[in-house]
């Protein structure tokens, strides 16, 4: 079915046909002609997307119609300037490809529309604007979630230069990040813009061009007239530029001025493009359900493709007939390629789909470094350390080993962390590598994602596990997906340290004693470490840094707050929960085992480890031999180790300090079931409750009494599950 905007263009330009062939060219008109070609390509790709969907071959119809003036934004930048693009930045992508050369952007986009395995960025996993050789970092259907990463990239370009670290981006690069007017209201966007301005206010170089493509509507919700200008035009510390997106020459001049300003001043700027949305939000969007026909047709007059065509005719660069000839030639090129590409193969198996993730995890698992996987002591001439001291020393080792490493978060620098874990590191390596951030977890994680893709090894701290949930999408939707949606062409290595879990003797309540890890457990392709002993904490942190550096892994490091300064295990003064610093990294995905009991296997992690070891000693007094398996890794789970030790005793008690619903124990029990384990399996876990203040916390958290009780029930034959 013909699209009205296509018919409108043909009708209006057709009415201008006069038969004249007089054409005059200048440098300006030649430049506009180049950009006009990108506009035409983008328009016909949108039309082709609708056609492919109508014949059941296309899977994505969110287009760029009405936004084609963003070609001029690409034209104002260099092909080496990193770009994080809005899903309506199709013409930008085509112009960037023309600048960079060596690619066929029409084919790139079409292969994405049909999810072809030959698509050069994601390999058929999503329709994205992205190419590594064009410095376009892939984004999916973003609602401002890419803005914190863009801030991170802009921060990291000058920081890499300062540290003498190689970066994929030129030293004078400008980062460009485009988004829509509706997304500009999202807390993620506002936080990112605030972070950029906050950094620049302190004199931190941050060469970032925000581009708001303001079409006045978010699906069906209207943006109040003048809202974007009202919100950003007078923002101190954010240079503001405005252009009418219907006038390509105006956009080119304004975008050039904006890019030059950012490149010169190394500060953030805001380019406001007043665009128009044509053909609705997507192919499935029935625009007439919320907009009148006259309102929709009135927008056709602001069609940037039509306006550019008129400008070229009025300035003698093309005749009307020449415009139509180019328009139809581009249609033929695009639809011809679409017919061919529609028959290309798709991903045909789970293994193919998951290849970027499985390859990364396989690479990590096959890494040559291996640390201790038993309770045997590591020989080293050093004094025993607490967990906090071991983490501190491991952080220093990482900072000394990798000059790319930077450590940041709230309170990590001068204060040395809320619990003193990072104390002294600022003095050892300096403020360029250990520094405090704004109090915004989205900004912290976005900085990590941007730094990792820019040549640095970011080690970000989130003060408490509950605070992660404010910003989990920066891990789930941005960092963890990058290798998947770029087929491992882009990687953002990062280590995120989180002070986690409960048992702070009632201190803090929910926000300082959170035990919810479900938000992390179901994210594919990330490493989640959960040490309990000091030597493991150091060895595992070194392993995470290695996995990040060598394989681009996103590693989450959960540090049990209650064990930070713990020295004793059984009685005061025994010093049995201190350990010497390890000599090697740990092996990712391998458990640590305590004891060789033949009667019961306790599978646990975190605070559950010392609790279970104390319970094991009590159980041995009644002739129940126990081995305690410290999983150490929540992802990937050490399934082989768990299964092996489960079969050694035939009886398993999963001791889980997280919640019964969504807790780690669910995954352990499911893994044993999948492995065909036919012995006895029981579970004890914390209650499905938020953690209250004071001693009431102990009423809902896992206790040693509950571990003993559950263990006894297994041997008493009471089949009640032993669950709290």
Instruction: Report the greatest alpha carbon distance in the chain.
Output: 104
With residue 94 as reference, give the H or E element that holds it.
Answer: helix 90-100
Whole-angstrom distance, CA of residue 510 vs CA of residue 689? 10
Whole-angstrom distance, CA of residue 293 vs CA of residue 217? 16
Residue 322: closest CA among 33, 582, 47: 33
Residue 659: closest CA among 637, 635, 684: 684
Catalytic residue among 126, 198, 249, 512: 512
Cβ neighbours of residue 561 closer than 8 Å, sequence gap 6 or more: 419, 464, 499, 500, 501, 503, 504, 512
| Number of helical (H) and strand (E) elements in the chain, helices listed first | 25, 20
Whole-angstrom distance, CA of residue 596 vs CA of residue 622? 16
**Cβ-contact 245, 276 below 8 angstroms:** yes
Q: In what order do the strands lie in the sheet with 83-84?
A: 136-137, 83-84, 175-180, 208-214, 269-274, 239-244
**Which SS3 state, helix, strand or coil, does residue 58 take?**
coil
Cβ neighbours of residue 315 closer than 8 Å, sequence gap 6 or more: 29
Which residue is listed with tokens 């956009």?
A: 251
| Overall residue count recorded for the chain in this entry | 724
126 is annotated as an active-site residue: no
Cβ neighbours of residue 203 closer than 8 Å, sequence gap 6 or more: none
With residue 8 as reference, give the H or E element that holds it.
Answer: helix 4-14
Q: Give CA separation, 317 vs 34, 41, 70, 90, 678, in Å.
A: 12, 19, 21, 24, 80
Alpha-helical runs (H) found in 342-440: 350-365, 387-401, 425-429
Inter-axis angle of helices 441-452 and 147-163, nearest 10: 60
Whole-angstrom distance, CA of residue 235 vs CA of residue 200? 13
Count CA atoms within 13 Å of residue 25 on its CB side.
8
Extended strands (E) in 363-456? 405-409, 434-436
CA angle 465, 536, 620 (to 5 degrees): 100
For the chain, the C-alpha Rg in angstroms (whole number) is 29
Whole-angstrom distance, CA of residue 153 vs CA of residue 157? 6
Extended strands (E) in 146-275? 175-180, 208-214, 217-218, 221-222, 239-244, 269-274
Residue 132: closest CA among 491, 386, 472, 583: 491
Chain centroid, CA 539 distance in Å: 26
Give the tokens for residue 687. 């209650």
Chain centroid, CA 189 distance in Å: 15
Q: Active-site positions?
A: 512
């Amino acid at each position: 079915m013909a699209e009205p905007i296509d018919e409108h263009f043909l009708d209006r330009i057709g009415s201008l046909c006069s038969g004249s062939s007089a054409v005059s060219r200048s440098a300006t008109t030649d430049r506009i002609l180049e950009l006009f070609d990108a506009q035409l390509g983008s328009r016909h790709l949108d039309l082709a997307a609708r056609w492919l969907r109508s014949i059941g071959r296309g899977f994505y119809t969110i287009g760029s119609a009405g936004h084609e003036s963003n070609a001029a934004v690409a034209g104002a930048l260099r092909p080496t300037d990193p770009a994080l693009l809005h899903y309506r930045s199709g013409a930008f992508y085509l112009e960037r490809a023309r600048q960079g050369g060596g690619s066929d952007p029409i084919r790139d986009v079409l292969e994405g529309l049909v999810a072809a395995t030959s698509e050069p960025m994601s390999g058929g996993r999503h329709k994205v604007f992205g190419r590594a050789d064009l410095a376009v970092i892939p984004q999916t259907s973003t609602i401002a979630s890419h803005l914190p990463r863009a801030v991170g990239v802009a921060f990291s370009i000058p920081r890499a230069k300062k540290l003498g670290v190689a970066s994929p981006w030129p030293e004078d690069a400008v980062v460009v990040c485009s988004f829509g007017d509706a997304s500009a209201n999202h807390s993620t966007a506002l936080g990112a813009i605030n972070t950029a301005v906050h950094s620049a206010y302190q004199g931190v170089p941050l060469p970032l061009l925000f581009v708001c493509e303001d079409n006045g509507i978010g699906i069906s919700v209207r943006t109040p007239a003048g809202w974007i200008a009202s919100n950003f035009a007078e923002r101190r510390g954010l240079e503001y530029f405005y252009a009418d997106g219907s006038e390509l020459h105006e956009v080119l001049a304004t975008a050039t001025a904006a890019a030059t300003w950012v490149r010169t001043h190394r500060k953030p700027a805001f380019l406001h493009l007043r665009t128009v949305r044509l053909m609705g939000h997507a192919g499935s969007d029935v625009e007439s359900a919320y907009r009148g026909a006259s309102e929709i047709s009135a927008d056709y007059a602001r069609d940037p493709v039509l306006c550019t065509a008129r400008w070229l005719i009025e300035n003698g660069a093309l005749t009307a007939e020449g415009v139509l000839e180019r328009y139809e030639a581009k249609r033929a090129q695009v639809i011809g390629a679409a017919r061919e590409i529609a028959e290309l193969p798709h991903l045909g198996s789970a293994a193919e789909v998951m290849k970027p993730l499985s390859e990364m995890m396989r690479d990590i698992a096959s890494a040559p470094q291996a640390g201790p996987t038993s309770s045997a002591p590591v020989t080293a001439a050093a004094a025993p350390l607490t967990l906090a001291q071991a983490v501190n020393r491991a952080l220093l080792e990482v900072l000394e080993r990798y000059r790319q490493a930077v450590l940041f978060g709230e309170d990590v620098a001068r204060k040395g962390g809320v619990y003193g874990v990072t104390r002294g590191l600022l003095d050892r390596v300096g403020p360029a590598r250990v520094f405090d951030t704004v109090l915004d977890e989205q900004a912290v994680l976005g900085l990590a994602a941007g730094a990792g893709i820019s040549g640095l090894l970011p080690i970000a701290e989130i003060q408490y596990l509950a605070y992660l949930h404010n910003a989990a999408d920066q891990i789930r939707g941005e960092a963890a997906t990058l290798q998947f949606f770029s087929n491992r062409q882009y990687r953002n290595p990062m280590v995120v340290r989180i002070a986690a879990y409960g048992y702070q003797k009632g201190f803090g309540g929910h926000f300082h004693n959170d035990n919810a890890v479900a938000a992390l457990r179901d994210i594919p392709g990330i490493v989640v470490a959960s040490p309990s002993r000091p030597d493991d904490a150091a060895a595992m942190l070194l392993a995470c840094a290695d996995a990040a550096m060598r394989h681009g892994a996103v590693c989450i490091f959960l540090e049990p707050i209650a064990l930070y300064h713990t020295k004793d295990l059984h009685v005061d003064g025994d010093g049995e929960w201190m350990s010497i610093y390890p000599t090697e990294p740990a092996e990712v995905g391998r458990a640590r085992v305590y004891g060789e009991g033949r009667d019961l296997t306790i599978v646990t992690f975190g605070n559950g480890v010392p609790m279970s070891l104390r319970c094991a000693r009590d159980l041995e007094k009644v002739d129940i031999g126990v081995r305690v398996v410290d999983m150490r890794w929540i992802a990937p789970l050490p399934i082989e180790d768990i299964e092996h030790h489960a079969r050694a005793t035939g009886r398993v008690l999963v001791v889980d300090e997280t919640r019964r619903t969504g807790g780690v124990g669910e995954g352990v029990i499911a893994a044993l079931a999948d492995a065909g384990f036919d012995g006895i399996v029981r579970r004890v876990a914390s209650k499905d409750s938020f953690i209250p203040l004071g001693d009431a916390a102990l009423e809902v958290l896992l206790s040693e009494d509950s571990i003993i009780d559950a263990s006894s029930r297994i041997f008493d034959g009471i089949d009640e599950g032993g669950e709290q």
